[in-house]
Chain A
């Protein structure tokens, strides 16, 4: 059953049509990545799904009682707002200390509970955002350019963490990213967006589709293969341990 099903979606922002006639759905446990150039409506699509934007036309159906864990693209915390990591995890609802500690551990941010949010590094901040999203026991985890500001090893580690979390919690994951080769390889399905859905399917299918190549060129294919290689390699080492 689909967690979210969207049909014929059209969104207008400040007079301009950002998304036109978009169909989209995501099933339980699926990892779906949305790729597309800047201004292609990727973030807009996510914001429609979380209910922050009203579509001009089309239907958005969410499964009853759907719990969404959302990791925003950026989160600016005003320096006048004191906020420890532990307190942040209590938003929007209080959680027991044990659950908070477990979520931090799960997101790889174990020792940070007492720190101020504004004092965290980019990578630590993203992990804390992930921990908070996990605390709601989401059916659907949504990440909007979650690795912005991380270096390449950092973002690769972050995506490995996401895959781990998915395997453990069984939640669906919907990501938007510009790091095509990294995210595409970790996805079950890729949607190439440019105001409308250009093409979609398994990563290999999309990477070789003419619509995708028209947008991104052919350069990413090699990188994709490279990442595939690393990916396998990692599993081998884990098995050996």
Chain B
């Protein structure tokens, strides 16, 4: 276990655990155009942090509960035909604002807000690692179990109904997965950048994938590459690690989009 004594090894493992869980979920977020939905859920996490500290429970469970509540609320409103982009814009930012205000009420507790907004991957301990990988395995298990049903419901709800699949249940499964990923990712990239780790690897993988499965696997690989590259870069230039990981992912996205344009040109 001496390997885990190295904070860099722990950081790399934590990051990889998060991107493995984020990859399939991120694909669904992209396919279903739920980017804002991911944002709202992630931003609500700060409120979860404040409540967890106030009631002296673990940050993981506080974030999980509040994210889940937010995700279920948004998911419920989706089915009632509200103007979603406006509503999500309201919910995402007010959740963040209420969270920040709630944190300021905490007395006697010194809260390093930056760590929750942008992550603190270098401070990941063994317990954090266990929580992250436990959550990641749960999320991956959920996707393994419901993959076909989720895909069918994503393509077309009526197609799902006709095959005996309830698309509302699949939506709930995604909602649950989203809350779990937010809860395990907050330590690694922070509430503000979780949505980036969902969307950027999936969007980067799109041009190279012919099937949904390949897109999810490619997203996982691209995410892992971003984590390792971001860690290296942050050591080398002494930059904040979470944002560095997102920067590497963004660069990979730019490369992938550029490559796609070149390929299209060459094919005429």
Contacts and interface: CB of A to CB of B under 8 A. Distances in A.
Interface of A: 47, 50-52, 68-70, 72, 75-78, 80-84, 87, 90-94, 116, 136, 142
Q: How large is the interface on B (under 10, 10 to 19, 20 to 34, 35 or more residues)?
A: 20 to 34
Interface stretch (B12-20, B203-211, B237-245, B248-256): B203-211
B148 A84 contact: no
Contacts of A50: 158, 161-162
A12 B181 CA distance: 38
A78 B29 CA distance: 12
Contacts of A72: 156, 158-159
Which applies to chain B's interface (DSSP): helix, strand, loop or mixed?
helix
B152 A91 contact: yes
A92 B210 contact: no
Given A75-B159, A83-B212, A87-B211, 19 more contacts: A50-B162, A51-B162, A52-B161, A70-B163, A72-B159, A75-B155, A76-B156, A78-B33, A80-B31, A81-B155, A81-B212, A82-B212, A83-B155, A87-B212, A91-B163, A92-B149, A92-B165, A93-B148, A116-B210
A90 B163 CA distance: 12
B217 to A, nearest CB: 12
Most buried by B among A76, A77, A81, A84: A81
Contact of B211 (A75, A78, A80, A82): A82
B233 interface: no
Most buried by B among A87, A91, A93, A94: A91
Contact of B206 (A82, A84, A90): A82
Contact of A82 (B156, B158, B164, B214): B214
A82 B209 contact: yes
B30 interface: yes
Rank and list the top 9 A-B pairs by shortest CB-CB distance, nearest first. Answer: A70-B162, A52-B161, A50-B162, A92-B152, A92-B163, A81-B31, A82-B209, A87-B211, A91-B152
A8 to B, nearest CB: 22
A69 B206 CA distance: 30
A75 to B, nearest CB: 5
A107 to B, nearest CB: 16
A238 to B, nearest CB: 32
Contacts of A116: 210
Contacts, number: 73
24 contacts: A47-B158, A51-B162, A52-B157, A52-B158, A52-B161, A68-B162, A70-B159, A70-B161, A70-B162, A76-B156, A80-B203, A81-B154, A82-B206, A82-B210, A83-B155, A83-B211, A87-B211, A87-B213, A90-B148, A91-B151, A91-B163, A92-B160, A94-B148, A142-B162
B215 interface: yes
A34 B213 CA distance: 39
B52 to A, nearest CB: 35
Contacts of B154: 81
A4 to B, nearest CB: 12
A81 B26 CA distance: 12
Interface in B46-85: none
Contacts of B149: 92
Nearest to B163: A92
A37 to B, nearest CB: 22
Contact of A92 (B148, B158, B206): B148
A75 B212 contact: no
A180 to B, nearest CB: 24
